[in-house]
Chain A
Amino acid sequence: MTWLSTMFISMFASNALLTWGFGFRQGLKSDIRRTPSWFVVLLALNLVASIILWFLSSLVLRPLGMSYLVALAYALFVIPAVRLLSRGAFLLSGREAQSLELDELTSSTLVFGISLIAIRGSTSLTESLLAAFSSVFGWWSAIEILGAVNRRTEEGSVPPRMKGAPVMLISAGLLAMTVSLARIALGQGLGK
């Protein structure tokens, strides 16, 4: 797999939110996405998570023939490490409220999904990092689009019972359809 295809697959075809449903709630409900630096922080955390998981998987578990323990190792080591890191960083900067929001984001699904996807198809650390970066960007794009749709529907003439969750889920479904098309197109383009 070339670097370009890794990037496009992580960003579109295997979009963390639209294909796997990771971080839907955290992205839409949390105010953290509205802060200017959240994307950078999220990206940094995901890169760190990918590095830790790659080392655990490639250098420890795979040589020992225990690759099936990757998910458990993730839950035991990577999530707590990333949570501690994010909380420490925000505490040092005096923004405890944001650290709690990011806590929820990291501990629930997003980092898990991104790292999982990154590690699944990656053989080298560079490829894993590229996949993690692209996944964050893809996830962020989907969240921004859904956020914009939500704002437009709040102001528009949408029936009250359709506002909020139903509109968000329908929008996510329509976006997921385009992602599925991208997956098919990429699959054919890559000869899969």
Chain B
Amino acid sequence: MKQASFYPNPALVSFFGLAPLVGVSSSFAAGSIAGLTMALGAVTASAVGSLSRNRIPGRVAISIQMAFAAVYASICWMLVEAWSPAIAAQIGMYLPLIAASSFVMHELGRSGTEGGGRLKMAAISATQYFSVALIVSAFREVLGAGTFTLPLPVYSVHPLMIFSQAPLPFFQLPAGSFLVLALLAVVNRFLFSAQGAKEVPQ
């Protein structure tokens, strides 16, 4: 269990769900909501998969998963829109993608685990992904824009001013998100090694 807390990180090791991390993480508010949506989606997908696995044939299950993804995306859209229209405008087009990715991400917990174990792995992966989304979006917004936007339920977003001038505007670009993720991937390796693992995850 201790080892599983660092391995395999869905975003930093397996490159799962990179699109929301690259596309919407330039603001902490949007990045955190996108990360949460993805994480909850992965757990939901795992629960749906566990419930339907022995009851529904594989070929039909794919269609059911996609239908659930569409329903999940719609529900998320309505909830985010009700919570904050400004954040919904930033991540709206990504929601179906996030939902579809969630349903792919839950595959991570399928290998070698059964029933409750699978759900537990999905929950660990989801937590890891959410943590990465929080760190990447905070890092990018503070350094790239010099502001910090909380995901509050407001109509228009009012960011907190951290720096009077953006220290490193480069981090607002997609390239900045890749480099932050690379940094986190190295940190992930160090943490993994610190746990006494002989092999570094590839």
Q: Using a CB–CB distance below 8 Å, which chain A residues touch chain B?
A: 18-22, 24-25, 28-29, 71-72, 74-76, 79-80, 83, 103-104, 107-109, 112-113, 116, 160-170, 172-174, 176-177, 179-180
Contact = CB atoms under 8 A, between A and B. Distances in A.
Query: What is the interface residue range for chain B against chain A?
Result: 35 or more
Q: Which of A19, A103, A166, A177 has the most CB of B within 10 A?
A: A166
Q: Taking chain A's interface residues, is the majority helix, strand, or loop, or is none over half, making it mixed? A: helix
Contact of B74 (A72, A104, A165): A72
28 contacts: A20-B174, A21-B21, A21-B174, A22-B19, A24-B18, A24-B19, A25-B14, A25-B18, A71-B73, A72-B70, A72-B73, A75-B66, A79-B66, A79-B100, A109-B19, A109-B97, A161-B189, A164-B200, A165-B15, A165-B202, A166-B189, A167-B182, A169-B179, A173-B182, A174-B175, A176-B173, A176-B175, A180-B173
Interface of B: prevailing SS: helix
Contact of A176 (B70, B93, B174, B201): B174
Contact of B193 (A76, A161, A163): A161
B100 A177 contact: no
Interface of B: 12-16, 18-23, 62-63, 66-67, 69-70, 73-74, 92-93, 95-97, 99-101, 103-104, 173-179, 181-182, 185-186, 189-190, 193, 200-202
A169 B178 contact: yes
A173 B199 CA distance: 26
A137 to B, nearest CB: 19
B99 A75 contact: yes
